[in-house]
Structure 1
Amino acid sequence: MIGITSYGGYIPAFRLSREVMAKAWLRGSMGGERSVANNDEDSATMAVEAALDCLIGKDRGEVAGVFFASTTAPYREKEISSLVAAAADLPDEIRTADLGNGLRAGVAALRSAFDAVGNGSAKNVLVAAADCRLGYPQSEHEQSFGDGAAALMVGNSGAVASLEGHYAVSNEMMDVWRNAGDDFVRTWEGRWVLGEGYSALTEKAVKGLMKKAGVQAKGITFAAIPGPDARTHRRLVQVLGFDKAQVVDPLLAQVGDCGAGHPLMLLVSALEAAKPGDTILMAAYGNGAEAFLFKVTEEIRNLVPRRGIKGWLNSKLPLATYEKYLSYRGILETQPGDPFRLLPSATAYWRDVNSILRFHGSKCRSCGTLAYPIQRVCYTCRTKDSFDEVRLADKKAKLFTFSLDNLAGRSDDPVVVQSVVESEVDNARVYCMMTDCQPKEVRVGMPVEFTFRRIYEGAGFQNYFWKCRPLR
């Protein structure tokens, strides 16, 4: 049976109160809070986090494709899906593709994955969608947007949810957009966009799907329908005939609208709560609308526990000031720390990809010593070129020692926790920086985990590497 075989999610640790945002401009607040990606996160790193969550309990060697979707990819011309595949330690013999330029990119990637598996050209395809959109300062979008990601595996066996139906409509209108070179999302008059765009087209897609599938609103267990704001979302689900118990929390009060990744995040939320026999309707809007109908199978009981959306939702840190949000998003320019003025090397990045991106260490075949980065000569027994590569990214660890570096940090985040981390497996020690932490609370021996982050930008490209963070 072809269907979704696994799922994963990611929500950044930092949350910014909308009251704080509103106070900065002496305007009204939407209430609640929004998620904010750290200054070392972007759509690529969030997609990797969601992909790693999705891959828990799965054989990486069976993955035949990675599709990445975003409207805020870090590069204008460079594939991100290949980066996600490398950081997730997937095989080299894999198809990769990026989808973007629209809010339906996430569901378009999911639909493409179903097509690829359905026609037999791929056995399993991983879909990862993430967004980190910017609204103009003082705008409603600045408050309503959020940062987040989701990942889904589509395969031809072991499906936890089968695809029972799909319906799509297209519509050309200037509702929200960004021109080449724009940082901030533009929009036309709000009532027209919401009335003739989001509400009308999502209603058309959902009703079209239910008619095509021969189901009524009361026959749907979970309705995973994103919304631009709470009032418009509430009005739409009422028009569609769903009651409160059926509607998946749109995450607007705790996270915000996460763009191309948001429909998949809500689908993950529904799958977390679903049991065999449940039906899930997911919708997405953006220059048209689409709706998908899934039926949950018995395989849902066999999924290995993962964080999904629920696991990240309440694991959070407060972002104290609006000014820090502006600097994290690059709206206010910050002064980099001295070490980050060095330029990275594209050739070294390529040559050491297994250590840098795949996060492999070398385990000596003679004495069992695990070292990072990969070493040709074992520093314990001196055996040469006799080792196996071991993935460290999913290993739990503890903080062996650390130093608070007051010279390396950015001007908006001046203290860097330089860390030596000891893996709980084979006691391998890794030197890295700590992120998503309060420096005053860091202690030797505290449990940590590894996370894929952007180190800095230099020579015109992003330099990605692994950091550690307190266990979330």
Structure 2
Amino acid sequence: MVGITAFGAYIPFNRMERKRLAEAYGEPAPPGEKAVANYDEDSVTMAVEAARDCLTGSGPAALGGVFFATTTPPYREKQSATTVAAAIDAPDTIRTADYTSTLRAGTTALLAAVDAAKSGAGSVLVTAADCRLGAARGQFEQLFGDGAAALVVGTENVLAEIEATCTVAGDVITQWRETDDKYVRAWEDRFVTTRGYGAMVKKVLTTLAGKQKIMPSEINKLVLYAPSPRYQAGTAMSMGFRQEQIQDGLFATVGLAGAAHAPLMLTAALEQAGPGDRILMVSFGEGADAVLFKVTENIKNFAPRLGAARLLASRKNTMNYLTYLRWKNMLDFEPPRRPDPDRPSAPAMWRNAAKNLAFYGSRCTKCGTPQIPAQRVCVHCRTFDEMTPYRFADTNARIATYTIDHLTISQDPPTVFAVVDYEGGGRLLCEMTDCEPAKVAIGMEVEMTFRKLYQAGGIHNYYWKARPKR
């Protein structure tokens, strides 16, 4: 039996109400809000957070592969799955791969993971994340949102068995970006829906139903990607599904999350599923993928660390449109009157990979005291060179003291720097994120989150920051 053995999600803490777009341009906007990645987040950091949510019950040591799907990778030529694997502390003997350039990348990676698991490659972690941009005052700016999902595919302790899959490929130009395009472009709606989305989705559903001899009434939840709520409901009902069978498309709470959208909807459906339920997931992008799942009894014994429902509820939606434009680099601001940061050193990044990406410190083997950064002399018992690596990424901490800096360069001033004390030992000075400076307090419980520090010379520099516990 091959299927989903774990699942998780990530939805950014920050949201922007769509009425802010209406206020900015004096034009109607759809209801609800959209999830907005912070200025220090990208598709890689969100994929890491989704993977951490997914791997709550089991560590990464047993993984045989890490696949990363996105249409917005940070590099044009450098694999990002290796960064995700390093950040979750996966072994370096695993298979890594990036899947990109199509909205179907998430399900393409999932199907590749299924093939790998069937071939005996072990469990494969599939992460999907996207931060797509729509041009100002356009429909895509209203519809797009940021998010990520993670699924582990394996053969043991399966939560949702994969009963059948079907793919329809079609070279139909609906949405695209050229190499130098910042914003997504699209053909006119009628062609996109009649010759692209509608035709491909209906064909893949009809083909799968014919192969499996299954009727719409036998499906508990239809996880259907669609370019808008209207097309989702219209397409589903035209195929014989009822409204209550259609999984919430997250249009009013997250927005269209690109390659991560269908997997993110799937994680939300799995959170509510019971043994015996059948879930049918359909994605679209130059064709369509359909995957039929049957939920097993094991679903009762699994829960993600946070999960989609809790992440949807954990939010701040006071963002104004100017902040959104600044975070997305859609406006040119006067640069700071200071030297540009130096390009990170590749040898230094290699030497410090365990510290910077996996977030390792050390732990004294004599007295058991953890300490970060890693030390040669124990701060507690003064033992010399008696240390073992100790990972702090999942260790809770509290603020010992903090300062609010109004002068440092930031896309979201002021910046909060905090000294945090970790449970069991260890103290670190670090930057905070996803926080309201006025609400930061000594003793506040915080957790670590993987973020992008800066980009210089074409190199993205990642590290960990503290945030209030979600």
- TM-score category of the 2 structures, normalised to the smaller one: over 0.9
Contact 1:113–1:127 (CA under 8 A) maintained in structure 2: yes
Amino acid at match of 1:432: C
Residue of structure 1 in register with 2:20 after alignment? 20
- How far residue 22 of structure 1 moved from its aligned partner, in angstroms, is 2.3
- How far residue 109 of structure 1 moved from its aligned partner, in angstroms, is 0.3
CA separation of 1:380 and 1:342: change in aligned 2, threshold 3 A: farther
Contact 1:340–1:408 (CA under 8 A) maintained in structure 2: no
Amino acid at match of 1:378: C
Match runs of 1:236-315 below 5 Å: 236-315=235-314
Residue of structure 2 in register with 1:376 after alignment? 376
- How far residue 377 of structure 1 moved from its aligned partner, in angstroms, is 2.5
Q: Deviations over 1:56-101 (max 9, x none)?
A: 1113211110000000001111111000001011111111000101
Q: Deviations over 1:130-182 (max 9, x none)?
A: 00000111110011000000000001111001100111111111110000111
Q: State the distance in 1 between where 2:111 and 2:133 align.
A: 27
Residue of structure 2 in register with 1:364 after alignment? 364
Q: Deviations over 1:18-56 (max 9, x none)?
A: 110122122210111111000000000000000001111
* 3-state secondary structure, aligned to 1:37: coil
Count of residue correspondences: 469
Q: Which moved more, 1:209-218 or 1:105-114?
A: 209-218
Q: State the distance in 2 between where 1:450 and 1:339 align.
A: 29
Contact 1:340–1:456 (CA under 8 A) maintained in structure 2: no
Q: State the distance in 2 between where 1:262 and 1:16 align.
A: 18
Amino acid at match of 1:321: N
Q: State the distance in 2 between where 1:168 and 1:336 align.
A: 50
Q: State the distance in 2 between where 1:186 and 1:388 align.
A: 51
> Are 2:399 and 1:399 equivalent residues in the alignment?
yes
* 3-state secondary structure, aligned to 1:245: helix
- How far residue 7 of structure 1 moved from its aligned partner, in angstroms, is 0.1
- How far residue 278 of structure 1 moved from its aligned partner, in angstroms, is 0.4
Amino acid at match of 1:437: C
Residue of structure 1 in register with 2:439 after alignment? 441
Q: Deviations over 1:225-269 (max 9, x none)?
A: 121111111111111211122111000011100000001001101
* 3-state secondary structure, aligned to 1:317: coil
CA separation of 1:249 and 1:96: change in aligned 2, threshold 3 A: same
Contact 2:54–2:304 (CA under 8 A) maintained in structure 1: no
Residue of structure 2 in register with 1:29 after alignment? 29
- How far residue 199 of structure 1 moved from its aligned partner, in angstroms, is 1.5
- How far residue 342 of structure 1 moved from its aligned partner, in angstroms, is 4.3
- How far residue 339 of structure 1 moved from its aligned partner, in angstroms, is 9.1
Q: Which moved more, 1:259-268 or 1:197-206?
A: 197-206
Amino acid at match of 1:379: V
Residue of structure 2 in register with 1:355 after alignment? 355
Q: State the distance in 2 between where 1:333 and 1:343 align.
A: 22
Q: State the distance in 1 between where 2:194 and 2:59 align.
A: 45
Amino acid at match of 2:149: A
Contact 1:168–1:290 (CA under 8 A) maintained in structure 2: yes
* 3-state secondary structure, aligned to 1:318: coil
- How far residue 195 of structure 1 moved from its aligned partner, in angstroms, is 2.2
Q: State the distance in 1 between where 2:318 and 2:49 align.
A: 21
Amino acid at match of 1:430: L
Q: State the distance in 2 between where 1:186 and 1:347 align.
A: 39
Residue of structure 1 in register with 2:462 after alignment? 464
- RMSD between superposed Cα atoms in Å: 1.4
Residue of structure 2 in register with 1:154 after alignment? 153
Residue of structure 1 in register with 2:429 after alignment? 431
Contact 1:67–1:126 (CA under 8 A) maintained in structure 2: yes
Q: State the distance in 1 between where 2:400 and 2:241 align.
A: 52
Identical aligned residues as a percent: 46
Amino acid at match of 1:107: T
Find 1:452's aligned residue among 442, 450, 453. Answer: 450
Q: State the distance in 2 between where 1:362 and 1:89 align.
A: 15
Q: Which moved more, 1:332-341 or 1:400-409?
A: 332-341
* 3-state secondary structure, aligned to 1:23: helix
Q: Which moved more, 1:126-135 or 1:197-206?
A: 197-206
* 3-state secondary structure, aligned to 2:447: strand
Amino acid at match of 2:451: R
Residue of structure 2 in register with 1:218 after alignment? 217
CA separation of 1:367 and 1:35: change in aligned 2, threshold 3 A: same
Q: Which 5+ residue runs of structure 2 have no aligned equivalent?
A: none
Q: State the distance in 1 between where 2:226 and 2:269 align.
A: 16
* 3-state secondary structure, aligned to 1:38: coil
Residue of structure 2 in register with 1:126 after alignment? 125
Q: Deviations over 1:244-298 (max 9, x none)?
A: 2211100001110000000100110110010110000000000111111000001
Contact 2:14–2:315 (CA under 8 A) maintained in structure 1: yes
Q: TM-score, normalised by structure 1?
A: 0.97
Structure 1 segments, 4+ long, off by >3 Å, are: 333-340
* 3-state secondary structure, aligned to 2:451: strand
Amino acid at match of 2:446: V
Q: Which 5+ residue runs of structure 1 have no aligned equivalent?
A: none
Q: Which moved more, 1:54-63 or 1:299-308?
A: 299-308
* 3-state secondary structure, aligned to 2:407: coil
Match runs of 1:323-338 below 5 Å: 323-334=322-333, 335=335
Q: State the distance in 2 between where 1:133 and 1:374 align.
A: 38
Q: TM-score, normalised by structure 2?
A: 0.97
Match runs of 1:70-219 below 5 Å: 70-120=70-120, 122-219=121-218
CA separation of 1:389 and 1:212: change in aligned 2, threshold 3 A: same
Residue of structure 2 in register with 1:7 after alignment? 7
- How far residue 378 of structure 1 moved from its aligned partner, in angstroms, is 2.0
Amino acid at match of 2:146: D
Amino acid at match of 1:44: V
Contact 2:4–2:159 (CA under 8 A) maintained in structure 1: yes
Contact 1:339–1:408 (CA under 8 A) maintained in structure 2: no
Q: State the distance in 1 between where 2:339 and 2:57 align.
A: 38
